[in-house]
Structure 1
């Protein structure tokens, strides 16, 4: 009897230890984190028994880098953009992730062939394609509606304050497109001193009308509060506000700047094997397609695309709201991580100096 009791207690302890296994995943908050919790975290826990703790940051790359450098890493997986993923990997801040550990497509296509170009790197696995777009409050423009990136900078024709991300990245590209530079030529122009001057001159034309935002939830709130009439914003945030909260917000796809978000594992992650399991699970074909039920970001795998269906409301077709929809790519700019890895320091310094004047 005593032996049986001891054995029972031991088995209970083992079961508790297994059920107590957990990882911490850091993301960007808002509707985006909700989409990950529903499509990735909950199904992963159901499949593996590994609990997922969700934490948010304005830009997860910043605290991740600080944690690794302080040798005090408290997260196991983080969601970062492409330029940060490449930079952090080059700096030795991230664990390498073997593409062979990722599940193939349902038809057997290897992950290396199924992910979209640029979605896999030595230390990162893409999950979504998102974009920075211009959006406006339709109630502010009852007659003539803004339709192009140029309209964002035309405060005479479309009066009202603007909001923009407080960052050189995307802001400078959008300024050039707003000044008539075709998307395909933006980085060639921005790579010259004259192009940089042109971008800042365009920003000068609206500087007194700009409210600067730093966290992804802020531009939507600024629109909702009536503090601005137009803003740059992540397309998924605008979609969520318009569809789930019935806000009169409209995205302008002309001049969108799109890129990947990717999962990375910081050096020193306490739960490395569980973190790798999570990344492999979350970036499978079906989970990536399922995420689109919750937010209008495109999946990073080719095989996920045909599985994208309706929003969680059961009536909104998601395909037209994806940055990668053909109709939305007419004058769209794929963000160049190569450009930003090379130029971020100098352009950020110039941008901050411009803000201070």
Structure 2
């Protein structure tokens, strides 16, 4: 609950545009002139480019190469480490993957207060990020949620609209194809919730073989109607093309489709799953590449830069000091607060993702989930 209270507190101050906070960049000594950044593509990566890499490149002349492989980051970093050839400089990952990579020695621990910028009022970075520093290797950027959206114009629904996440499993009331992420995370939790398991018991149940079987049996009820996605840009496109009527994805992707593209979707915030996303630095980078990464990370995770990203996509900035600087969308001019997952109206019924549990159990559950998919 501590995480949820922090998230809700951080959004309470959102709603006005504060003064621009500038960070004077010191010269970067013995620094590479090119960086390879790994992210998720789509609207999210575009927000990073606008808020972080474009202004940094303008100030330093550094060239950025973007790789959209974050969904495969753990496997690829393991392989690179095995081969002794790490070609990535900075990798965007979810918190549970950061914990795994840190535990395996594949991500570099951070000295947060020495290597990241203080808040404008002098608050150390460790206090400004607070509980969101879930691993010594994790540099938080955003709070986001995995949630659902649906087409608001499905004739077969007879004017009814989904009210809770269990509509995903209600083929009788809401017929049509669904789209879910091709991994166990979130799907297993939603399946158990919609099979009668209380929120506080979900991970205890999922800890057992019987609980895993129960979740997969619930997913079996819709399996032949699911289009599985791997890249978060896919479900909004599937909805837009009419190939599915109900889909899961990250809230910012649906925001982009609805508000920026005018798609006929509606958000289904019920049982949205709060999570964290941020950077890890691969372990063992050569000195010039590491120097460049640390120089960039200090800039890209300061108070203003995190607030700037939230002006392009509806994810809450990970620093408490950034929240008051977020006001309106930089291009649309709409107030961003109502579109944040942490907005009180959207957060009436949330599910708090247990990233530590998944860090411990991900490999095992991945294997079982993929075996189930292949059946």
TM-score by length of 1: 0.90
How much has 1:58 moved relative to structure 2?
Answer: 5.1
- State the distance in 1 between where 2:120 and 2:299 align: 13
In the alignment, which residue of structure 2 is the partner of 1:52? 64
How big is each residue's C-alpha offset from its partner over 1:26-48, in whole Å with a ceiling of 9 and x where there is no partner?
Answer: 11101111000000101222333
* Partner of residue 128, structure 1: 142
Query: What secondary structure, in the 3-state scheme, does the structure 1 residue paired with 2:184 have?
Result: coil
Moved over 3 A (4+): 17-20, 180-185
Moved more, 195-204 or 208-217: 195-204
Tell me the CA shift for residue 219 of structure 1.
1.0
Within a 5 Å distance, the mapping from 1:156-171 to structure 2 comes to 156-171=172-187
282, 295, 307: which is aligned to 1:266? 282
User: Which has more radius of gyration?
Assistant: 1
Structure 2 unaligned residues grouped into runs of 5+: 1-28
1:308 and 1:252 map into 2 onto residues whose CA distance is 24
Equivalent residues in 2 for 1:188-267, closer than 5 Å: 188-267=204-283
Pick the aligned partner of 1:350 from 368, 371, 374: 368
SS of residue paired to 1:305: helix
The residue aligned with 1:77 is 90
Show CA shifts across 1:196-241 (max 9, x none).
Answer: 2321221111112111111111111211111110011111111111
| Residue 35 (1) aligns with residue 38 (2) | no
For the Cα contact (< 8 Å) 2:102–2:135, is it kept in 1?
A: no
- Which one of the candidate residues 329, 335, 338 is aligned to 2:356? 338
**Deviates further, 275-284 or 338-347:** 338-347
Contact 2:260 2:332 in 1 (8 A): no
C-alpha deviation, 1:142, in angstroms:
6.6
Give, in angstroms, the shift of residue 350 of structure 1.
1.8
SS at match of 1:227: coil
- Distance of 2:78 and 2:294 partners within structure 1: 19
Residues 19 and 50, structure 1, Cα contact 8 Å, conserved in 2? no
TM-score, normalization by structure 2: 0.86
Paired residues in the alignment total: 342
Are the equivalent residues in 2 in contact too, given 1:81–1:259 (CA < 8 A)? Answer: yes
Partner of 1:278: 296
Change (3 A) 1:202 1:326: same
Q: By how many angstroms is 1:55 displaced?
A: 2.1
* Aligned match of 1:98: 111
Q: Secondary structure at the match of 1:309?
A: coil
Is 1:24 the counterpart of 2:40 in the alignment?
Answer: no
* Structure 1 position 19, deviation (Å): 10
CA distance in structure 2 between the partners assigned to 1:50 and 1:164 by the alignment = 38
1:114 is the counterpart of 2:128: yes
- Answer with 26-35 or 97-106: which moved more: 97-106
Q: In 2, distance between residues paired with 1:173 and 1:268?
A: 36
CA distance in 2, matches of 1:117, 1:243: 31
Does 1 or 2 have the higher relative contact order (CA < 8 Å, sep 6+)?
Answer: 2
1:254 offset after TM fit, Å?
Answer: 0.7
Cα RMSD between the aligned structures? 2.1
Give me the whole-angstrom Cα distance separating, in 2, the residues matched to 1:46 and 1:218. 32
